[in-house]
Amino acid sequence: MGTLYEDIVAHGGEVFGEEHVETLRECVQCGKCTGSCPSGRNTALRTRKLFQMALVDLREEIFNAPELWFCTTCYTCYERCPKGVKTTDVIRTMRNLAAKEGHMSVPHRMIGVYVLKTGHGVPIGPDQMKLREAVGLESQPPTTQKHKDQLEQVQTIFRTTGYDAMIDFDWDTMNLKGMEKKGGK
Amino acid sequence: MAEDSKTYAYFLGCITPNRYPGIEASTKKILKGFEIETKEMVGASCCPAPGVFGSFDMHTWLPIAARNLAIAEEMDLDIVVSCNGCYGSLQEANHLLIEHPKLREKTNEILSKFGKEFKGTTTVSHIIVVLHDVVGLDRIKENIKKPMNDVNVAVHYGCHFLKPREVRGHGSSETPYILEDLMKVTGAKIPEYKDKLMCCGAGGGNRTADSVQSLEWMRQKLVSAIESGCDCMVHPCAFCHLQLDRGQAEMEKAFGVFFNFPILFATQFMGLALGLSQEEVGLDKQTTTIPEKILK
């Protein structure tokens, strides 16, 4: 484990290319991100502050800050940053690192459960099948929820990347470990 | 892909087929009317949501998106989507995997476990772009059966249709024009409103983790549209639809106020203008009701 900045460059760099996330270093603390932020209008999210905290290596403070999760990834600051900091991708990278170190809420982990069980973050139920029929569609779309062999491919991806372990998924109950068995959303 | 290709692989995602099938039905019916065929992507999954799975683990997000792209590649077709989340996720994944060979190699190692491969031979388009650029405004205009002349539409883009502009390629995200053009050919008026470019508040896992905060954000946006004299909101994103439509019922529970401000996906609004009934586009079975002024 390096400094938070080094980890951001290493982890984010694997996906976006290092130059992309290294733009974090260009931040001059002008605050245009915060001024543009629709979340910051209502929440404690101060993107400028998060970036300064990242640059001075306040790893635990960032990972424990609820506002890290208040960004909706709307990209407004990304579009407007005068220094070309790839803001939203830096935030997503910091969230990835936080999640890896166990900072992930139960509702967020549950989205993974739905996808592991059905291939969909928002699965279909009987009521919605009726809605489909009412507009002249097949009661169920031909996606992973209908085709179990296809769902297994998605499950293979989760097993391979270790996402199942990251959210503490129990393959026996098909739910989070320690949670009562319950249906989809 | 052939440039004059008139068949698309329709990537459904989650909300479109599983919550608001009227979006799927209206998309299919409109395209069919303009002689564009849509094919089902058998075995497609969640895109997966870019702000959600991209926030949790990009190394899981990417292969799942790549697998969906590979399905379209096997069909030898370009993709059309009806959700900004799907658009954002699949287009970004396609872009990254084409740009970064090492990343592609690593991703294909995972896909090879079940005999799939990402080749980079498909493109990802959005239904409103297909209507605007492939069908064309003139052809749409010729086919309008119910002009929306006295309807004031609050245009809402959502986020991932326009941004980041370097990937999406629809010009400035501050002065968009595609939805405005589509609304104008129906005859609708499009008043400016303060929070037009603001996010619906749902993305990035916010709707899931902090719904009241997310609803307050949406409330501000709706108030801004209502204060500008808009009769309804039209948008291109199934996920925004969930937030803006069902969210109004949740807002009633949380704040004790029901706006009943009509929310229509772009093809639902266009469908009405092109002569489809509200039942055919599924607008009779959602939270917000569509007034006579829009239905005629």
For chain B, say whether A76 makes contact (Cβ under 8 Å).
yes
The 10s digit of each residue's pLDDT in A31-59 is 999 999 999 999 999 999 999 999 999 99
Instruction: Please indicate, yes or no, if residue A184 is contained in any of the structural domains.
Output: no
Domain identity same for A158 and A81: no
Categorize the per-residue pLDDT at B60 as very low, low, confident or very high, splitting at 50, 70 and 90.
Answer: very high
Categorize the per-residue pLDDT at B51 as very low, low, confident or very high, splitting at 50, 70 and 90.
Answer: confident
Domain identity same for A59 and A121: no
Mutate to test the interface with A, among B19, B23, B40, B58 (most CBs of A within 10 A): B58
Indicate whether B95 pLDDT > 80.
Answer: yes
Indicate whether B251 pLDDT > 50.
Answer: yes
Question: Is B118:B111 a contact under the CB 8 Å cutoff?
Answer: yes
Categorize the per-residue pLDDT at B2 as very low, low, confident or very high, splitting at 50, 70 and 90.
Answer: very low
Mean pLDDT of chain B: 96
Instruction: Give residue B209's pLDDT.
Output: 86
Mean pLDDT of chain A: 95
Indicate whether B16 pLDDT > 70.
Answer: yes
Q: How many CB atoms lie within 10 A of CB A42?
A: 15
Instruction: Give residue A42's pLDDT.
Output: 92
Categorize the per-residue pLDDT at B4 as very low, low, confident or very high, splitting at 50, 70 and 90.
Answer: low
Asked if A69 and B209 come within 8 Å (Cβ–Cβ), the reply is yes
Domain identity same for A134 and A160: yes
What gap in Å lies between CA B130 and CA B251, rounded to an integer? 34
What is the architecture of the domain spanning B138-295?
3-Layer(aba) Sandwich (3.40)
Indicate whether B1 pLDDT > 80.
Answer: no
Closest partner CB to B60 (pick from A78, A149, A158)? A158
Dihedral (CA of A8, A67, B224, B294) sign? positive
Domain ranges of chain B: 7-126, 138-295
The 10s digit of each residue's pLDDT in B168-226 is 999 999 999 999 999 999 999 999 999 999 999 999 999 988 889 999 999 999 999 99
Q: How many domains does chain A have?
A: 2
Q: How many CA atoms lie within 13 A of A151 on its CB side?
A: 17
Q: Across chain A, which distance is largest between two alpha carbons, in Å? A: 57
Q: Which of A79, A100, A121 is the last residue of a domain?
A: A100
Instruction: Give residue A183's pLDDT.
Output: 46
Domain identity same for A85 and A112: no
The 10s digit of each residue's pLDDT in A59-68 is 999 999 999 9
With a CB-CB cutoff of 8 Å, which residues 130-189 of chain B face chain A? 159-160, 163-165, 173-174
Predicted structure pTM score: 0.96
Summarize the confidence of residues B8-26 as an average pLDDT: 98
- Whose CA is closest to A69, among A111, A16, A35, A25? A111
Instruction: Please indicate, yes or no, if residue A123 is contained in any of the structural domains.
Output: yes
Instruction: Give residue A184's pLDDT.
Output: 42
Domain identity same for A64 and A26: yes
The 10s digit of each residue's pLDDT in A114-159 is 999 999 999 999 999 999 999 999 999 999 999 999 999 999 999 9
Closest partner CB to A96 (pick from B12, B48, B58)? B58
Q: What are phi and psi for residue B124, nearest 5 degrees?
A: -115, 120
**What number is the ipTM of this complex?**
0.95
Domain identity same for A13 and A60: yes
What gap in Å lies between CA A42 and CA A165, rounded to an integer? 34
Q: Which of A100, A115, A140 is the last residue of a domain?
A: A100
Instruction: Please indicate, yes or no, if residue A182 is contained in any of the structural domains.
Output: no
Instruction: Give residue A129's pLDDT.
Output: 98
Indicate whether B72 pLDDT > 80.
Answer: yes
Instruction: Give residue A41's pLDDT.
Output: 94
Instruction: Give residue B53's pLDDT.
Output: 94
What is the architecture of the domain spanning B7-126?
Up-down Bundle (1.20)
Instruction: Give residue B5's pLDDT.
Output: 53
Instruction: Give residue A179's pLDDT.
Output: 81
CB pairs under 8 A between A and B: 217
- Whose CA is closest to B147, among B111, B187, B92, B177? B187
Domain that holds residue A153: 106-176
- pLDDT > 70: percent of chain B: 98
Q: What are phi and psi for residue A117, nearest 5 degrees?
A: -85, -35
Instruction: Give residue A1's pLDDT.
Output: 76
The answer to whether domain B7-126 and domain B138-295 are alike in fold is: no
Mutate to test the interface with B, among A73, A131, A160 (most CBs of B within 10 A): A73
Residue B171 vs residues A87, B221, B229, B257: alpha-carbon distances, Å: 19, 23, 28, 38
Asked if A142 and B18 come within 8 Å (Cβ–Cβ), the reply is no
Indicate whether A8 pLDDT > 70.
Answer: yes
CATH number for the domain harbouring residue A65: 1.10.1060.10
Contacts of B18 in chain A (CB under 8 A): 120, 122-124, 128, 141
Asked if B48 and A115 come within 8 Å (Cβ–Cβ), the reply is yes
Instruction: Give residue A181's pLDDT.
Output: 53
Domain identity same for A10 and A92: yes
Instruction: Please indicate, yes or no, if residue A27 is contained in any of the structural domains.
Output: yes
Coil, strand, or helix at residue A74? coil
Instruction: Give residue A180's pLDDT.
Output: 61
Closest residue in B to A112 (Cα) is B53
